[in-house]
Amino acid sequence: MALEVRTARDEDREAMHHVGQQGFAARPADYDEKSDRSATPLDRRLVAVEGERIVGRLAVWELGQWFGGRQVPMGGIGGVAVAPDFRGKGVATALLHQVVAAMRERGEVLSTLYPMNHTLYRRHGWETAGSYPEQSLDLRALTALPKPSRQIDIRPTAEGDLLAVSRLHEDVSRDEPGNVFHGSVFAARRLLGYAGIQEGYVAETDGAVTGLLILTRSDAPKGDQGFYTLSINQLVAADLDSELALLRLVAAHYPVAREVTLVVPPHAALTTLLGERDLRPAGQGWSWMTRLVDAAGAVAARSYAAEVDVEVHLDIEDSVAPWNAGPHVLRVKDGQGLLEPGGRGDVRLGIGRLASLYTGWAAPRRLARLGLLPGAGEQDLLGLDRTFSSRTPWSRDFF
Ligand SMILES: CC(C)(COP(=O)(O)OP(=O)(O)OC[C@H]1O[C@@H](n2cnc3c(N)ncnc32)[C@H](O)[C@@H]1OP(=O)(O)O)[C@@H](O)C(=O)NCCC(=O)NCCS
């Protein structure tokens, strides 16, 4: 097999669409040029070509994630698909290896994705690193929420809202480890909702945008008394009144819709307002996996608690990105981190394991108890814990 992996071109659009449909669709949709042109830009898509035929594809969203209150540039991988008759021949492997190099060139020090297939990504250095806490909620419960204590105006999103909603999304995400930021205007457009598929609303307080809600309707499952169900793709609010105003809009769909799914971290306002186990885990069990594309760059890009003063000697295994591999010393002081080649290489770990520590998802002591951090002594575990521990990393943005 003479496989070539290259950046996508205009004439590849239709073939990429078909491979994507073969990968994910229950009922393959016809190619629609307009919708393809509104998807990720061509220079952020890779195709795998065998002879003349496109046999695999993937796309990268220009995103980032908040860690320690700083924006860390991240390539969000999506739409990895290989034609059924070419599976099991290393096509996805070739695409993933190339995309790691491409992201590094662009300064995307992290890569995150929502995996269908953990085995594939784990093998190439991604590891489970954060949660997507999807919950389902009986809409009737929302009708009992208190009213906002002041006037909040709600209206549909408009093109001109892009800057205001991006700023709002940044403000509410900054202190939430793992939350996504949008690294380009194109990526930020997701925040306005997709016309014809989603409904977008903003909340305004005295003329300023203080809340954003993106909703999608889908068919009610069999046995549900409603005509449709709702999912909330975005619910961000600068304050409780704006959040309550947006939730009233959602509640107003009751009883035609009976249920809504939404992403709610354990510390959200909603969990303090509802009771009777109205909010229940739901969804398809997604969590996200992260790879350190450039481990030194990733360590330097985030910030750390000011009082942390740590030195840990790591020995990193990374066969896909050799620039990350080998003995490295992790030093954290005065809120800054450095990962430099050299040192004793005491703690042996794969690049994926390091990603799961970096985001705050994995607890060093627990990993050690499971035998997953060979060589780590008590001081190393303490050092890694002080460096990376945080509230559970999570994301409300799915891509
Ligand atoms: C998942 C998918 C992209 C893999 O593509 P591929 O070209 O067959 O993958 P590769 O040949 O490079 O596989 C490399 C390794 O990944 C793992 N892997 C690949 N597909 C797998 C599967 N379906 N289940 C479990 N492991 C799998 C295996 O460890 C495999 O190594 P092996 O062949 O030595 O066992 C392809 O099966 C596909 O398009 N599936 C439908 C869409 C999808 O699930 N996309 C990923 C969603 S995020």
If pLDDT is split at 50, 70 and 90, which confidence band does 269 have? confident
- Candidates 393, 395, 319, 343; CA nearest to 383 is 343
Cβ-in-10-Å burial (0-12, 13-18, 19+) of 326 comes to: middle
CA–centroid distance, 87 to ligand 1, in Å, is 7
Mean pLDDT, range 202-215, rounded to an integer: 97
Atom index in ligand 1 nearest the CA of residue 82 equals: 39
Characterize the bridge pairing of strands 228-237 and 257-263: parallel
Q: Residue 86's pLDDT is what?
A: 97
Strand ranges for 159-305 from DSSP E: 180-182, 198-205, 208-219, 228-237, 257-263, 279-281, 287-292
Mean pLDDT, range 210-231, rounded to an integer: 92
Ligand 1 environment, Cβ below 6 A: 23-24, 80-82, 87-93, 115-117, 119-120, 123
Mutational pocket test of ligand 1: of 58, 60, 93, 120, the residue with most ligand atoms within 8 Å of the beta carbon: 120
Domain boundaries, the chain: 3-108, 134-281, 294-388
Tell the residue nearest (CA) to atom 34 of ligand 1: 88
Tell the residue nearest (CA) to atom 3 of ligand 1: 81
**Residue 94: pLDDT over 90:** yes
Characterize the bridge pairing of strands 110-113 and 70-82: parallel
CA–centroid distance, 92 to ligand 1, in Å, is 7
**Residue 203: pLDDT over 90:** yes
What tens digit of pLDDT does each residue of 320-358 get?
999 999 999 999 999 999 999 999 999 999 999 999 999
- Candidates 215, 225, 266; CA nearest to 140 is 225
Q: Residue 283's pLDDT is what?
A: 79
**Residue 111: pLDDT over 90:** yes
CA–centroid distance, 88 to ligand 1, in Å, is 6
What tens digit of pLDDT does each residue of 277-297 get?
788 888 788 999 999 999 999
- Candidates 390, 301, 381, 378; CA nearest to 349 is 381
CA angle 340, 341, 345 (to 5 degrees): 110
Fold designation for 294-388:
Nonspecific Lipid-transfer Protein; Chain A (3.30.1050)
Mean pLDDT, range 215-226, rounded to an integer: 88
Mutational pocket test of ligand 1: of 5, 22, 87, 111, the residue with most ligand atoms within 8 Å of the beta carbon: 87
CATH (residue range 3-108): 3.40.630.30
Tell the residue nearest (CA) to atom 21 of ligand 1: 120
What tens digit of pLDDT does each residue of 2-57 get?
999 999 999 999 999 999 999 999 999 999 998 898 889 999 999 999 999 999 99
- Architecture of the structural domain at 134-281: 3-Layer(aba) Sandwich (3.40)
Q: C-alpha distances in angstroms, 153 versus 144, 203, 242?
A: 20, 6, 9
CA–centroid distance, 58 to ligand 1, in Å, is 13
If pLDDT is split at 50, 70 and 90, which confidence band does 268 have? confident
CA–centroid distance, 147 to ligand 1, in Å, is 50
**Residue 1: pLDDT over 80:** no
Same fold, 3-108 and 294-388: no
**Residue 195: pLDDT over 90:** no
What is the share, in percent, of the chain residues with pLDDT greater than 70? 100
If pLDDT is split at 50, 70 and 90, which confidence band does 271 have? confident
Q: Residue 344's pLDDT is what?
A: 98
| Mean pLDDT value across the chain | 95
What tens digit of pLDDT does each residue of 138-175 get?
999 999 999 999 999 999 999 999 999 999 999 999 99
Structure tokens at 398: 């799915």
Look up residue 20 and give its DSSP letter: H
What tens digit of pLDDT does each residue of 173-185 get?
999 999 999 988 8
If pLDDT is split at 50, 70 and 90, which confidence band does 274 have? confident
Structure tokens at 258: 């009976």
